[in-house]
Structure 1
Amino acid sequence: MAARSSRYIDSDSDTDSDDRIRINITCPSLSFESVTNCAHEMLVEYFMALLVIMGLSATFDKQQRRHHHSRSHSPYFGFLASATELSNLIPDSYDGGLDPLFDNSTNREIIAALGTTARLHCRVRHLGDRAVSWIRQRDLHILTIGIMTYTNDQRFLARHIDNSDEWVLKVVSVQPRDAGVYECQVSTEPKISLAYKLMVVTSKAQILANRELYIQSGSDINLTCIAPQAPGPYTHMLWHKDTELVSDSTRGGIRVVSEQQMKTSNLVISRVQHTDSGNYTCSADNSNSDSVFVHIIKSEQHAAMQHEVGARLELPHLCLLLLLLVAALRPL
């Protein structure tokens, strides 16, 4: 009678058991040779099951371990173990013999505003026992190896979470000189690397108005601010009058509409009064602020100013008319 073996993966788990791999080996006790062949086949089946587990182990939750092991006492030897239990036998650093490769899903063009913190994220699959380094391309300076820093500039830091594929180069308080290309390098033979471009911008909020505004009492203030170079997809923008946050004012009749994705903000103050005069400032994330000064004037003042401006405009016209008259009277 020949030895029989069967192996299957049971992926349908109930509430009392984990996903399991079952190996059943039938070993008739006829002869020493038969038992030897049976034992050999059992080892082969067990090894094949481990290979399956290596491919599936990443999908199992190691936090939900249950220890199940049973063996029959009949001529049939059975082995039963939970997939999570067997997967624990595999070291976390095991890469299955695969070569390291980069995960290209990370952003490789980083824009940082002057003085902010920039982070360059590099993901490496199947790293194994190799090391990840960050190198500044312009001078080939090795900034970090693993989590160790190899530069006197303390603004450069390495960040890594255990058992993750991500290696981060952190640059604190970025300066214009930090702009350029940085390489994430893996210590394979030959070495492999991936380039990242860091751009440093000086972002400034801009109020689309004259530096001084004269608004008639009883009318509305309408100010628009933009920050097109602010880094990141969204920008938070605020308005201040002198030192007070406009949104905290108890005045009433104030409306602020901001579009963080468009990086714009609109301030409207209805029926302004003399107390609304002051310095209005727009600020945006990681950007220099911008200000305008608003003067609230009465109707009489407004009319007087218009008359003064009109008088200023009339004088050049009179001079031009006089010159034309003199030219016309000159003999040819």
Structure 2
Amino acid sequence: MTWTLPEPMLATSVPDPALRPGWASEPKWDGFRALISVDAGRVVLRSRRGTEMAASFPEIVAGAAQLPDATAMDGELVVWEAGRLAFERLQNRLQRRGAGASRAAGEWPAHFVAFDLLRLSGTDTTGWPYRRRRAALESVFASRRLSAPWALCPSTTDPDTVREWLTWASVGMEGLLFKRLDSVYEPAVRGWRKYKVRETTEAIVGAITGSLAAPSSLLLGRYDDHGRLQYTGRTTTLAQAVSSAVAGLLDLARRGHPWTGWSFSAGWGSRETLDVTLVEPELVVEVGVDVARDASGRWRHPARLHRARLDLSPGDVPRMTAPPR
């Protein structure tokens, strides 16, 4: 009987980064979730949503020769650049095939950070408890002396180590994953927990979706070092009460708005454009954002509106800066 990769196990967001007794924690990587299997020389590299990615990452396929036959792992594809996770480089590689993919592999090589073992030398391990799967995964790395493109994701039951990982946001680490030590691997089930590192900061409202009387979301900006208002991201959909409160603080844009003629995508990497209304860039708001940024410093994920900051002017808002390279 042919063995097929299962659906990936999923995680539920939690607001607290504390490590509970009976659980282990792993760093949460800013990359592409991927499952890989090697069976009689055939390599399958699949995304979380089932997209086959082997053609885009020939270095991962070539590296599969290091793995035991009839073995499968769950993990994250990442690209490092100048000591930081570079998600945009990874994103650019998805469209490459053939010679283009080979050139990209030389310029922006990907690594597969393995964090779970699904099959080992023909044995399905998804019914094993996490602690046993983890021990077997570590044994594979040690006995096979796996090297690039393979990397073993750290795992710990030590709360002090977990607290240290929370300081890794500067290199693009998103947060933490939590896995119960006695839990089996359940495809498509949200049995894990995840905590994303978030920061509270300020931005300027430059446009809205919805109407001026009932804005649906806020498009946010920051000034760059040349005094130009740059788009930095969008909020999540506003609750009705919040929308009403913000509406009274906004004015329709006058002539000469810095975003006149601009178009805005519905999400990071999306080709869908938003129908927006420009407003005077005067209102400062406080938002919560995670650490995911693109190459220009924009927030890849929607920001959570906390409150309007009527005590601040646009000049008080931090400048738009790109991540360090």
Coarse TM-score class (shorter-chain normalised): under 0.3
Report the TM-score when normalising by structure 2: 0.23
Report the TM-score when normalising by structure 1: 0.23
Q: Which has the larger radius of gyration?
A: 1
Structure scoring higher RCO (CA < 8 A, sep ≥ 6) equals: 2
